[in-house]
Amino acid sequence: MASAAPLNIVALISGDGSNLQVLLDNIAGGVLSARVAAVISDQSQAFGLQRAARAKVPALVVERRSYPSVAAFQTALLRQVEAFTPELVVLAGFMQILPARFIARFAGRVMNIHPSLLPKFKGLNTHQRALNAGETRHGASVHWVTAELDGGPIIAQAEVGITPADTAETLRQRVLAQEHRIYSRAIQRFAQNRRAACAQTMPMPMSPSSP
């Protein structure tokens, strides 16, 4: 039986795209059974667009300022994503809140990486907030995207210890290393589950009829 096609992904970014780079590297290295059909950014200067171009992945820009309203921007973003028929939408540092209709359109197929041990420290500035709160553990979470900000079901987490010498920057670097480790694993697990589901629903081949 032929092997299943790679998982078709669209990645949304806003900045550097280091998590995107790890995904692209793992795909190229055969670690991740997927293909990035497109990278879409809401920032034209996002370095992640250059990462996509180097990997020969279509890189598109959908900027809020190019549209007369938030609703028009969101409609354009949804149409761009739909054009690539993704099986999974991966948020890799995407700083826009997705509207309910986007989440409904790709229900159960939008994955995000967040730099905290959710449900702690939803939103921004998570590293400094963890330090200010006197936490001894911090980390990263992969989760499904729902209408609640950073509130969807958790798929995977990784922890790092916080030392007295830590700053927000040193903590960010250690957490980012864990993000790079667990995001591809979570996506690969999704790809494997998809492949297993396809195999279960595939009709059994019929033997030739006897003459």
Q: What are phi and psi of 77, to 5 degrees?
A: -60, -45
Q: Which of 176, 185, 106 is nearest to 138 (CA)?
A: 176
**Which position among 114, 127, 138, 143 bears the catalytic label?**
114
Whether residue 114 lies in the annotated active site = yes
Q: Which of 111, 112, 108, 131 is nearest to 121 (CA)?
A: 131
Q: Using an 8 Å Cβ cutoff, are 16 and 90 in contact? A: no
The catalytic residues are 114
